[in-house]
Every structure is written in C-alpha cells, then in structure tokens.
C-alpha cells in the first residue's frame, strides 16, 4: 500500500522514536525514497530534536547546584543530622 505525505507526517515522531511497527516503517521508508519533501521534514525534525537536547541550549543558572546543596545542608542540620 502506498501512503501519502500527510500520513507520513502523522508518524514522524514515532518514526524517530523507533516506535512504529515494521510494516508501517517499511511503507514510510519506501515513501521517503521518492519524496524529497518528507525526507526534508524528517531530517529537519530529527535535527531540531537533536539541537533542543544539546546541553548548551538549556543550562542551569550559575550557582544553582551550590545554592541547592547549601539549602540541603541547612535542612540536614536542622533535622539533627
């Protein structure tokens, strides 16, 4: 069965997750071989996911951890630790 672009887009996220059944995966792969648009949508979505996950994008505020652990120490002392 041939699937259309819209159908491919609906499954892009699961496809990236590796969470589509083998039949559907094969159909999507076949579609991707000939569809430049869906290939670009897939590649760009995957690229966005990778960049969002990069540690440099979301960084803890400077000193966050030190302040948190100082607060924990206060609590440990307070509770007789």
Binding residues vs other proteins (CB under 8 A): 6, 9-10, 12-14, 16-17, 19, 36-37, 39-41, 43-45, 47-54, 56-58, 60-61, 64-65, 67-69, 71-72, 75-76, 79, 81
Rounded to the nearest angstrom, the gap between the alpha carbon of residue 17 and the centroid of all alpha carbons in its chain is 8
H or E element: which one contains 17?
Answer: helix 12-17
Q: How far is the CB of 77 from other proteins (least distance, A)?
A: 10
The two tokens of residue 12 are 């892009």
Q: Please, what is the minimum distance in Å from the beta carbon of residue 79 to other proteins?
A: 7
Contact 11, 20 (CB under 8 A): yes
């Amino acid at each position: 069965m041939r699937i259309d672009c819209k159908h491919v887009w609906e499954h892009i996220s699961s496809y990236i997750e590796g969470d589509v059944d083998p039949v559907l995966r094969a159909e999507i792969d076949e579609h991707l071989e000939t569809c430049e648009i869906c290939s670009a949508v897939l590649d760009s979505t995957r690229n966005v996911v990778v960049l969002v996950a990069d540690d440099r994008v979301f960084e803890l505020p400077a000193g966050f951890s030190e302040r948190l652990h100082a607060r924990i120490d206060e609590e440990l002392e307070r509770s007789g630790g």
